Chain A
Amino acid sequence: QVQLVQSGAEVRKPGASVKVSCKSSGYTFTDYYILWVRQAPGQGLECLGRINPNSGGTKTAQKFQGRVTMTRDTSLNTVYLELNSLTSDDTAVYFCARGIQLWFLESQGSFDYWGQGTLVTVSS
């Protein structure tokens, strides 16, 4: 069965960086986009961007450009989200989610499987 398993909770001080991982199993890792979505406490869902696990190509939300890096390791079926220059506003649960297959338009498709979420807390 398809599973996305994320790394554990993190606590960082303002100005630091954090790297969250998302390991996929149960399907061909390089066939589907992976997206990163975050949810601040008591708030809604916000998309940070997506990665093409086959090529490594990324698309980052303008709001996060310069602060977000998305990478993948195909030998581990794992994608990573790194967020730099953290502030308290970055305190949130970060989810990875599987998007559509790469040969379809990225505008199509839903997020059919999600990781369990990783809580990142930024506090001095």
Chain B
Amino acid sequence: QSVLTQPPSVSGAPGQRVTISCTGSRYNLGTGFDVHWYQQLPGTAPKLLIYDNDNRPSGVPDRFSASKSGTSASLAITGLQAEDEAVYYCQSYDSSLSPNWVFGGGTKLTVL
């Protein structure tokens, strides 16, 4: 059971828009700690996709966007492409736990 809750899977056709939710609690997202998103392609290390709630690192397409409100956050991917098929993780900091850095359980995105 992950501290941050994500749907196990989402899917969409090429060109469509999908969203992935990340639900936390008053001890993490609700406290104001930032949320970050990672993309993990099969057999590779996670890659930072979004940092500090809604910022894209250099090189990440603007098809990826994210937002945070209260104890929830979401990642949106528009203009879905086959290469977006991956597992997506949200991550934040939790004031009540050890370790303090916590991840969601991951969401598998399938491009139909």
Contacts and interface: CB of A to CB of B under 8 A. Distances in A.
Interface of A: 35, 37, 44-50, 59-63, 95, 97, 106-117
B100 interface: yes
Contacts of A111: 36, 38, 46, 48, 91
A116 B102 CA distance: 20
Interface in B81-112: 89, 91, 93, 95, 98-106
A117 B101 contact: no
B99 A47 contact: yes
B103 A45 contact: yes
B89 A106 contact: no
Interface centre among B45, B93, B103 (most CB of A within 10 A): B45
Given A113-B48, A116-B44, 13 more contacts: A37-B103, A44-B106, A45-B91, A47-B99, A47-B101, A50-B99, A61-B99, A107-B33, A107-B100, A110-B34, A110-B51, A110-B52, A110-B91
B44 to A, nearest CB: 8
Given A95-B46, A110-B51, A44 B33 contact: no
A62 B98 contact: yes
Residue from A37, A50, A108, A110 having most chain B Cβ neighbours under 10 A: A110
